[in-house]
Structure 1
Amino acid sequence: MAENPNLNMALEAVLRDRDDLYRRLMQAERKLKEMSDLQAMKDSYEARLSEKDKIIEAKDKAIESKDNRIASLERKLEYLQRKVWGSMSEKRRLPDDPNQLKLDFGESDMTPEEEEAVRQAIKEVNEYRQVKVREHEKRVPVRQKLPEHLRREEEHIYPEGYLGNEDQWVLFDETETSEHLEYKPAELYVRVTIRHKGMRKDTNRIITAPVKNEPIPKSYASASLLTELMVGKYVDHLPFYRQIQMFKRIGISLPPSSIEAWFHEVSDLMRPAYYRLKELVLSSGYVQSDETTIPIINNEKHQTIKGYLWLVRSVMNNQVFFFYHDGSRSMKVALELFKDYQGAIQTDGYTGYGILEKIKGIIIICCWAHARRYFERALKHDKARAEYALTMIGMLYDVERIADDDNMNEQQRMELRKRLAYPIICSFEKWCLTEYGKVLPKSPIGQAMNYFLNHVRQLAHYTMDGKYCIDNNLIENSVRPVAIGRKNYLFCGNHDAAEDAAVIYSFMGCCKAADVDFKGWMNYFLNHVHEYDSDYSKDLAELLPSSLKDRKII
């Protein structure tokens, strides 16, 4: 049978179409597979990108945290450098830009009367500043003469070759004299007390001389030795072990256990007078209070823990006492300490005193020196605002200098503060309220403004009475002996030792405040304290440094 050409052509065409369809199908399958692989790759890439974004975000946060940490450490370093090498005086120079002294009341909510009062106050303070600048003269150091009360021992030196043969020499009345301060080392000696016995001829009774009251019965430690040890540690900041070495160099060895026992005995002798001192300080109407750290040995953990000494000073009476309560700085200690107090308490703004303001009869006054320090720390971060704030605070201190220069009494000082200082404080407050929204709250200038705005009412309280101080620098000066002492003796052995140290620090602080010789007072106290053991008609306040000074006993 002959092949049909048309059929063959048709078959070939069908086969070609099928081959073409097959090729297209294979290409489609390949493309579909490639597309599925691409989707998987896309999903993989997107997952990897998302993971990298998280890593980058975490790194950015870490970098930001490190930057914040570095900035915080830089601020702390600047503060410590200023503490060690910088000036801490409340006196402040004028700002570099004189336009900063010009007040802009455009954004502040002040009445025209308030604006005029502020302008007049600043004008008067600036006039006082200009007068003081003109009056200031550079002081040239002058060598002081040696005190006249010191014993003089003359030493005569003659010309070379002079042997007393006046027939060959002519000595002139005119001489050249120079003075040199000599030092004689301390001397230890033994005081032997011999009690004699006797009998009157008209009686048969034998009488023995009475026993002299020694500070510590049945101890060879005299008042002068105990005074030297206690003043050495709590005034001159010499630990007992160093004093033991010093005594060895002059020929006497004192057992450390004996000195430790004497320390506790002396503090026990002072404790009744300490309680009387505490009563007198808390009975005054105006005190300053502060706290300072003191390391305490924890025998259970065999390490030191941070304890706190509370310090209260009567500004008007120049009396001060330290208070130790198991090393705590909590609010309940402040409540216990001032529970019966009535009057004004000046502090540094520590929140532990905040609850005292709710007690009727107590007024809290804050310290302008602390407010100033916040702005001082912000100088390198926001110089314009910080200098403006420091200038305003400096004017408040100038108002105090005006009162000091004119020897104003309390009433006159109060009137001056209300006329000059209070308007400046009001203007400063409104300036801070205006500027606070323009700064970062956690920045140094933001923290300074926040401190001021949170305590502005307590900061302004000092203008209510002329006897109140603008800052509590007096109490901070009283804290210094503890701060220096803990760098030398490092720690207290236990809570009892810290409480005993608080007792001795209290009387040493009273001596410093009353400008009384430490050794003179303590020697007198130890020699006469037993006179008050049985005679309850005597007041232990008579033994306080200020009382002995008023009676010219020491």
Structure 2
Amino acid sequence: MQNNSDTFLIQLQNHIQVLEQSNRVYEDKIQVSEEKICVLEEKNKYLEFQLKELRRLIYGAKRERFVSNAAVNQLTLPFEVEQTTESVSATETISYTREKAKKRNHPGRIDFPSHLPVVEIHIQPEQSTEGLVCIGQEITTELEYDPGKLFLNKYIRNKYALPNGDGILIGELPSRPIEKGIPGPGLLSNIFVEKFVDHLPFYRQIERFRREGINLTASTIDSWTTQIADLIEPLYDNLKRQVLGQGYLQVDETPIRVLDKTKKGTTHQGYYWVYNAPLQNAVFYDYQQGRGREGPAKLLENFKGYLQTDGYSVYDWFARQPGITHVGCMAHARRYFEKALSYDAQKAGQVMLKIQKIYAVEREARE
């Protein structure tokens, strides 16, 4: 009888060991499954995020505007005694104060600058006014435009023969931007302003000149541009020295397609590097063929102060240079929290509110 009991006990222990082994196997499988589920959940969240971003880019507003709950709550003040909230359905009443619309001035009433010439046009009734007494006037002001007109300057210089055959006396021509060239300074200034300020391409300016009966070629205007660029290069160098001499700079780079001289009709990628001194409201551009640090490193070799950039890795090198304090861009940092609002509005909203307060201080300081 004892042997039977021992045998049963051994079998039971073996069975328990088998069950324990099976249990450990299942626990391992469960753990692996849970890890897979976590990975899939993270992947699903990432895909949802990508989908929302794509939908926002296609259908949504591009402006990253944030209105905090704190700002919304400022519309009503909590004078009432706080009541205990019960989990029952109730009709929510929203109250607000409507501000009386301010009376706007008539959109046509603007103050004209005093330097504008005034052409008075007097209009009399068609009927006879003989024997009538004028009791007043009605004045209607109309803003008009007379398109810029081309004209020719002819410099006529009399030549005088000096006595005893000592030569000829003649007045000197005034200094001109392009010696022996056709364009005057006013014409060149207008071409440059329309191109680089108003962003009117040269080919459109050529078409407009053609309507005036002046046939200019693209190569002619390109030649003028090159010569004037050389002429004003000292001004550019002076501007560059002023900007780089400040203690706070903002630097950024932007791509631009550049015509390739070696292959007609093709372009290559170039970069405009922007150097902005915000406190002085001064900025200059530097062109580089690449996006590496070689260009800015040369320009900033003597710079000391605060250098503000985005998170591009090239700028990390400047953070290690003596005398340079590298600061980030709040707009770029804010963007990540703005995107996170749909996933964790409470945490992301707290950061957004702090950034909003920083912007308010910055706006006040700027004003």
Q: TM-score, normalised by structure 1?
A: 0.49
Q: Does 1:266 align with 2:222?
A: no
Alignment gaps of 5+ in structure 1 = 1-60, 100-132, 406-554
For residues 226-375 of structure 1, what are the structure 2 equivalents within 5 Å?
Answer: 226-298=188-260, 299-300=262-263, 302-326=265-289, 328-375=290-337
- Give the C-alpha shift of residue 182 in structure 1: 0.8
SS in 1 for 2:232: helix
SS in 1 for 2:138: coil
Q: Does 1:172 align with 2:150?
A: no
- Cα distance in 2 for residues equivalent to 1:136 and 1:310: 49
Contact 1:334 1:352 in 2 (8 A): no
- Cα distance in 1 for residues equivalent to 2:101 and 2:344: 33
- Cα distance in 1 for residues equivalent to 2:103 and 2:359: 23
Task: Go from structure 1 to structure 2 and tell me whether the alpha carbon gap of 1:145 and 1:211 turns closer, same or farther (over 3 Å shift).
Answer: closer
For residues 79-228 of structure 1, what are the structure 2 equivalents within 5 Å?
Answer: 79=57, 85-87=61-63, 92-95=66-69, 140-142=104-106, 143-159=109-125, 161-163=126-128, 165-167=129-131, 169-173=132-136, 175-198=137-160, 204-228=166-190
SS in 2 for 1:176: coil
Aligned position for 1:511: none
Contact 2:56 2:62 in 1 (8 A): no
Contact 1:285 1:344 in 2 (8 A): yes
1:30-58 deviation line (CA, Å, top 9, x unaligned): xxxxxxxxxxxxxxxxxxxxxxxxxxxxx
- Give the C-alpha shift of residue 156 in structure 1: 2.8
Matched residue pairs, number? 302
Paired letter, 1:239: P
- Give the C-alpha shift of residue 338 in structure 1: 1.2
- Cα distance in 1 for residues equivalent to 2:226 and 2:348: 50
- Cα distance in 2 for residues equivalent to 1:373 and 1:229: 40
**Which deviates the most, 370-379 or 245-254?**
370-379
SS in 2 for 1:186: coil
- Cα distance in 2 for residues equivalent to 1:341 and 1:254: 44
- Give the C-alpha shift of residue 302 in structure 1: 5.0
Percent identity of the aligned residues? 35
Task: Go from structure 1 to structure 2 and tell me whether the alpha carbon gap of 1:379 and 1:80 turns closer, same or farther (over 3 Å shift).
Answer: farther
- Cα distance in 2 for residues equivalent to 1:354 and 1:268: 35
- Give the C-alpha shift of residue 155 in structure 1: 2.3
Paired letter, 1:75: E
SS in 2 for 1:195: coil
Structure with the higher fraction of residues in helix conformation = 1
Paired letter, 1:303: T
Aligned position for 1:469: none
- Cα distance in 1 for residues equivalent to 2:265 and 2:50: 33
- Cα distance in 2 for residues equivalent to 1:384 and 1:308: 40
Alignment gaps of 5+ in structure 2 = 1-39, 74-96
- Cα distance in 1 for residues equivalent to 2:265 and 2:353: 50
Q: Does 1:377 align with 2:345?
A: no
Paired letter, 2:312: Y
- Give the C-alpha shift of residue 382 in structure 1: 3.6
Paired letter, 2:67: R
Q: Which has the higher contact order (CA 8 A, sep 6+)?
A: 1
- Give the C-alpha shift of residue 374 in structure 1: 2.7
Paired letter, 1:146: F
Paired letter, 1:162: Q
Structure number with bigger Rg: 1
Q: TM-score, normalised by structure 2?
A: 0.71
